[in-house]
Amino acid sequence: MNAAELDALLRQFLVDHKLNPHEKKVLVDWVDRNVTSEHYRGLARNRLFESVRDAATDSKTIMLLKFIEDVLKVLMPMASNIAGTPQPDGVYFSPGDACLNQILARFNGARSRADVCVFTITDDRITRAILKAQQRGVQLRIITDNDKSEDLGSDAQQLRNAGVPLRMDRTEYHMHHKFAIFDGLRLLNGSYNWTRGAAEQNEENITDTSSPEMIASFQKEFDTLWDRFA
């Protein structure tokens, strides 16, 4: 994480005590490039408080900042247990909502792009999250299995009708992957099919990682399949 760059930006933004649209865009770009885990998010938050404390000119403001910082240290760990809030690198299992919540959280938090490569999508909760991401301007690409796209309850055609770029294999075999890459920074991968059965009945798993090496390998595989299924 480039802390020095963040410090310089914060000093610049603090001059007029406001965050204008251009500055917000610059900050979002810094976050996309630097905040790859919850640990780094916490470090960035700490740099913010340090910068504001350095700029404060009276003791009352400094005391209020310390109060806010202490309260956030209590509240933020609680937020990680709320459904739909992304967790740091880890492994999640079903039956239950852990895998589903992690998928939803990654779509809710996606900023620029998401590449999805899954055997089947029938869980409407995930489909709604995908479509909401599209409405926010997230660039989507989806690869799925042609046979499963014809199953009752498949959301493949709904996604395609909504304008989501979607490609399928055209062989007698299956495109059996289940992984997704978010903003080039997060990878979800595991046995978990994007179905209600996987959430409610099956013994499944998802690994969520920010490993650059793993993300690069899966991105290469996605791009290869995307071109092959054109």
**Residue 179: which residues within 8 A CB-CB, separation 6 or more?**
117, 118, 187, 188, 189, 190, 218, 222
Dist CA 32 CA 27 (whole Å)? 9
The H-assigned helical ranges of the chain are 3-13, 21-34, 38-55, 59-79, 98-109, 124-135, 156-161, 196-200, 212-228
Verify whether residue 176 is a known catalytic residue.
yes
Verify whether residue 174 is a known catalytic residue.
no
Of 25, 66, 174, 176, the catalytic one is: 176
Of 178, 220, 223, 227, the catalytic one is: 178
Of 123, 145, 169, 183, the catalytic one is: 183
C-alpha Rg value of the chain to the nearest Å: 20
- Name beta bridge partners: 141: 115
Report whether 178 contacts 205 (CB < 8 A). Answer: no
Verify whether residue 208 is a known catalytic residue.
no
Positions marked active-site: 176, 178, 183
